[in-house]
Structure 1
């Protein structure tokens, strides 16, 4: 197997738990669209079963597992084997479960819940059937794995490269790394992959994007260091990984070799990654809790593209591109504006606006608007500047958390900005867009894989 077989098995291990035995998927799945190409469902299970107290402390997984899928990704290999699409399905997606006793298209009472709960009800077979029901696609192969397997695989491979432009901390997973490029051991990589409470990218969507980066940079490192340079080395690497992965009865070594050989010849620009577009990020359901509701039109366009064997990047039906995108949410940006008209227009944009026009100077200073802000607020400043094209940004030491807009002598046009959380963390991109800046395939500086770049944190 070549390069992407590594990706498939690593995807299975990301943030997963101890795997439960996969059951045979012998039920007929009539009514599903076979489509063109090959679809592989990759899951990681959140379970602490079989872990000793010492292992839980070492892995930083002392909480109670749910015996559910913590990670779920659908990998599509195109019919001509020239493109691969990896779609992350958030674990809290609110869907209708399938019924193992009936064909997916058969009518029956609807049982709704989080997609990760399908595993607790019917293990791998129900997880597969539920994904098929929700997407309309047929799943051809199934991979499942867990915590300790991921840790050992990363250690055996010599560590996983990670790059970040900001420090990352998460008490829940134990992650604590500084800005820069690191090579984490298996324990550190697991903490990175499981982190859900990172300040600048919280929640599952941010976690999924970090997982995609981890896989991509590890592939680049293995390729650069020759771990996949020939069939013998690639097979040896794959055998290490397959120790931690279980498959369904329709998926054997030859299947993985066939898939891996095809995917291993792809360039980074031919490998796509995305997350299912979400319409409601906190849909409360009695007895279920907070769930994610898919954007019906955009998710349908995503599954239709995969069923028709089309690319998912560059498709405006999956990812509409607004005229003026905002990188952060205006609803969380407090602004003081010394012009009543501009203040009103920014308020319509969703900014938290205070009108300070009564204290504005009688004579406006020459030039465009000036936005003053505290250092470290550059992302929010860029969002505000997008609504005020031509504005000048000034970082002021000691400035409070609000932004101050001083309107100048030039006429001001306030543009309507669009914030789409799907764009920030889950828009379809190719693998080359996920790599560390300036590190296209080059080896990661050696950091001892036996010493994780992780410290402290509570067990969670």
Structure 2
């Protein structure tokens, strides 16, 4: 075939081919001065050789690494660290301190949550709801806070130090109604000598209801007298006040004059001052120094309760682990809460105690703690209907007496 070489070994161009150079390419063929003997001038003209079945193709040893196939420059190999070079301390790396910070933060948050939960599980619960007919559900929430003079848990030495007297006494030194709702938070003090009808016992001082029938009878007496439904109950004893005040590092009181009260053991100067738990207790119990006796004590008790609430909810009480631990550890020993009151409701109560809303004594007709029924019923109506923004100054006074 012309132009394709012949069968005599002559390809027509002077080479001694086998007649198939047109397929595989002639050895040594090439154009230009750059051609080399033994290499194809145009390797692409060759037909690819298909591997036989069951035979692996020969490994290409001259393939470029993948990174070089795309024109990238390979990273030079790292030189080994000399044996004499010192190892870098992990504390020299900023990320070590970042990790440590977040680890401590996580532990602190767990501590803040776990401590109140453990303490709450140790708190005594009180069945405070009376079995008799009660007022229906009302808007807002009303808490009954009782400061009991129960000496339970106090040793003879502690009773002597705190001037608490008879260990069997179980009267209510402090009776407070705290209402929260759409209007201003309202705190109403009930003088302990208030003469009220106690179911089954006739008319007597309200603080004796607790001793006669326990918490349910006290709640029933107050609900009958006010028409207000009590939703939650909180009780704190003598030792409780001392323990909580000391746990928060003391509180500030601001008596308007110097007070020396022998029965309570109080001896304080005039003006604002920091006091410990024992002094705070004496201040909340003192009454012989004032001509209005029990009414003066009510004001002092409100001052102490507000000061305690302010310290309990201060940021320092949360940030300081020791104070947080002491404060929560004091709760189970000295506080009692009504059945159905969980930690959330307790937290809302504590927060409400620090609210600067309305604070007054139930309207009184005279200093002997007899109620002024007309003004008192008007005050109670605003609470029942959750209209505390309508409370007028004549209904809410510090002593309960009309100005």
Q: Please give the TM-score of this superposition, normalised by the length of structure 2.
A: 0.61
- Larger relative strand fraction: 1
Preserved contact between residue 97 and residue 133 of structure 1 (Cα < 8 Å):
no
In the alignment, the residues of structure 2 paired with residue 220 and residue 114 of structure 1 have an alpha-carbon distance, to the nearest angstrom, of: 31
5+ residue gaps, structure 2, are: 1-123
In the alignment, the residues of structure 2 paired with residue 97 and residue 114 of structure 1 have an alpha-carbon distance, to the nearest angstrom, of: 8
- Secondary structure at the aligned position of 2:399 is classed as helix
Equivalent position to 1:117, from 195, 200, 208: 208
In the alignment, the residues of structure 1 paired with residue 377 and residue 144 of structure 2 have an alpha-carbon distance, to the nearest angstrom, of: 18
Preserved contact between residue 172 and residue 195 of structure 1 (Cα < 8 Å):
yes
| 2:266 counterpart of 1:175 | yes
Q: Say if 1:258 and 1:22 are closer, same or farther in 2 by CA, change over 3 A.
A: closer
Preserved contact between residue 87 and residue 275 of structure 1 (Cα < 8 Å):
yes
Match of 1:275 in 2: 361
Bigger CA radius of gyration: 2
Offset of residue 242 of structure 1: 5.1
| 2:141 counterpart of 1:38 | yes
Match of 1:4 in 2: none
Q: Deviations over 1:104-142 (max 9, x none)?
A: xxxxxx722111111111111111111111111111111
In the alignment, the residues of structure 2 paired with residue 235 and residue 317 of structure 1 have an alpha-carbon distance, to the nearest angstrom, of: 43
| 2:296 counterpart of 1:206 | yes
Preserved contact between residue 281 and residue 293 of structure 1 (Cα < 8 Å):
yes
Equivalent position to 2:127, from 24, 27, 51: 24
- Secondary structure at the aligned position of 1:215 is classed as helix
- Larger relative helix fraction: 2
Equivalent position to 2:383, from 296, 301, 306: 306
| 2:242 counterpart of 1:151 | yes
Offset of residue 181 of structure 1: 2.3
Offset of residue 427 of structure 1: 6.8
In the alignment, the residues of structure 2 paired with residue 424 and residue 39 of structure 1 have an alpha-carbon distance, to the nearest angstrom, of: 20
**Could you say what the CA RMSD is over the residues aligned between the two structures, in angstroms?**
3.2
In the alignment, the residues of structure 2 paired with residue 126 and residue 29 of structure 1 have an alpha-carbon distance, to the nearest angstrom, of: 10
Q: Say if 1:171 and 1:138 are closer, same or farther in 2 by CA, change over 3 A.
A: same
- Secondary structure at the aligned position of 1:172 is classed as coil
In the alignment, the residues of structure 2 paired with residue 27 and residue 225 of structure 1 have an alpha-carbon distance, to the nearest angstrom, of: 38
Match of 1:215 in 2: 305
Preserved contact between residue 34 and residue 137 of structure 1 (Cα < 8 Å):
no
Match of 1:11 in 2: none
Q: How many residues align?
A: 279
Match of 1:86 in 2: 187
In the alignment, the residues of structure 2 paired with residue 259 and residue 94 of structure 1 have an alpha-carbon distance, to the nearest angstrom, of: 28
In the alignment, the residues of structure 2 paired with residue 180 and residue 310 of structure 1 have an alpha-carbon distance, to the nearest angstrom, of: 36
In the alignment, the residues of structure 1 paired with residue 319 and residue 185 of structure 2 have an alpha-carbon distance, to the nearest angstrom, of: 21
Q: Say if 1:221 and 1:258 are closer, same or farther in 2 by CA, change over 3 A.
A: closer
Q: How does 1:366-385 map to 2 (within 5 A)?
A: none
- Secondary structure at the aligned position of 2:175 is classed as strand
Q: Deviations over 1:226-268 (max 9, x none)?
A: 32579x998985664454211121222232134446x38x752
Match of 1:256 in 2: 346
Q: Say if 1:131 and 1:86 are closer, same or farther in 2 by CA, change over 3 A.
A: same
Offset of residue 55 of structure 1: 1.3
Q: Please give the TM-score of this superposition, normalised by the length of structure 1.
A: 0.54
| 2:47 counterpart of 1:73 | no
Preserved contact between residue 188 and residue 361 of structure 2 (Cα < 8 Å):
yes
Offset of residue 28 of structure 1: 4.3
Preserved contact between residue 240 and residue 334 of structure 2 (Cα < 8 Å):
yes
Offset of residue 171 of structure 1: 0.8
In the alignment, the residues of structure 2 paired with residue 240 and residue 160 of structure 1 have an alpha-carbon distance, to the nearest angstrom, of: 16
In the alignment, the residues of structure 2 paired with residue 317 and residue 178 of structure 1 have an alpha-carbon distance, to the nearest angstrom, of: 32
In the alignment, the residues of structure 1 paired with residue 167 and residue 350 of structure 2 have an alpha-carbon distance, to the nearest angstrom, of: 35
Q: Once structures 1 and 2 are overlaid, which stretch shifts more, 61-70 or 190-199?
A: 61-70
Offset of residue 172 of structure 1: 1.0
Identify the structure with bigger relative contact order (alpha carbons < 8 Å, sequence gap 6+): 1
In the alignment, the residues of structure 2 paired with residue 23 and residue 169 of structure 1 have an alpha-carbon distance, to the nearest angstrom, of: 36
In the alignment, the residues of structure 2 paired with residue 84 and residue 228 of structure 1 have an alpha-carbon distance, to the nearest angstrom, of: 24
